[in-house]
Amino acid sequence: MTNVTNPNIFGIATGKSPIWKVSSGMVAKLSDASGAQTIIVARGGKLDLDGASGSNTIVFEGLSFADVDVYRDGTEARIRLLVSGETIASIPVVTDAQVLRFTDGEKVLQIVSGVPKLAGATIAADTAAPTLLSAELSGKSLVMKFSEELNAANLPAASALTIKVNGTPLNSTAYTLSGVEGKNLLVTLSNAVATGAAVTVAYTDPTAVNDTKALQDVNGNDVTTFADFAVSNVVALTDVSAPVVSVHPPYTAPVNPH
Q: What is the pLDDT of residues 186-224, one digit of tens each?
A: 999 999 999 999 999 999 999 989 998 999 998 899 999
Summarize the confidence of residues 3-23 as an average pLDDT. Answer: 61
Beta pairing class for 175-181 and 184-189: antiparallel
Domains of the chain: 2-122 (no CATH), 132-231 (2.60.40.1220)
**DSSP class of 61:** T
42 near 49, Cβ under 8 Å? no
- Could you give the CA distance from residue 210 to residue 255 in angstroms, rounded to a whole number? 85
User: Tens digit of pLDDT for each residue in 145-194?
Assistant: 998 889 999 999 999 999 999 999 999 999 999 999 988 999 999 999 99
pLDDT for res 7 = 45
- Could you give the CA distance from residue 156 to residue 158 in angstroms, rounded to a whole number? 6
**Phi and psi of 173, rounded to 5°?**
-80, -5
Provide, rounded to the nearest whole percent, the portion of the chain with pLDDT above 90.
61
pLDDT bracket for residue 240 (50, 70, 90):
very low
pLDDT bracket for residue 14 (50, 70, 90):
low
Instruction: Let me know if 81 is exposed, middle or buried by CB neighbors in 10 A (0-12, 13-18, 19+).
Output: middle
157 near 173, Cβ under 8 Å? no
CA distances from 22 to 55, 69, 81, 158, 177 (A): 19, 20, 17, 40, 35
Summarize the confidence of residues 138-148 as an average pLDDT. Answer: 94
pLDDT for res 32 = 83
**Beta-ladder partners of 135:** 144
**DSSP class of 130:** P
Provide the mean pLDDT of the chain. 86
Residue 142 reports pLDDT greater than 90: yes
- Could you give the CA distance from residue 171 to residue 22 in angstroms, rounded to a whole number? 47
pLDDT for res 157 = 95
The candidate with the shortest Cα–Cα distance to 91, out of 162, 32, 19, is 32
The candidate with the shortest Cα–Cα distance to 35, out of 48, 16, 8, is 16
The pTM is what? 0.65
Task: Give the full edge-to-edge strand order of the sheet including 87-92.
Answer: 9-13, 27-33, 46-49, 87-92, 76-81, 68-73
Supply the DSSP string of 62-106, one letter for each residue. Answer: T--GGGEEEEEETTEEEEEETTT--EEEEEE--SS-EEEEETTEE
pLDDT bracket for residue 242 (50, 70, 90):
low
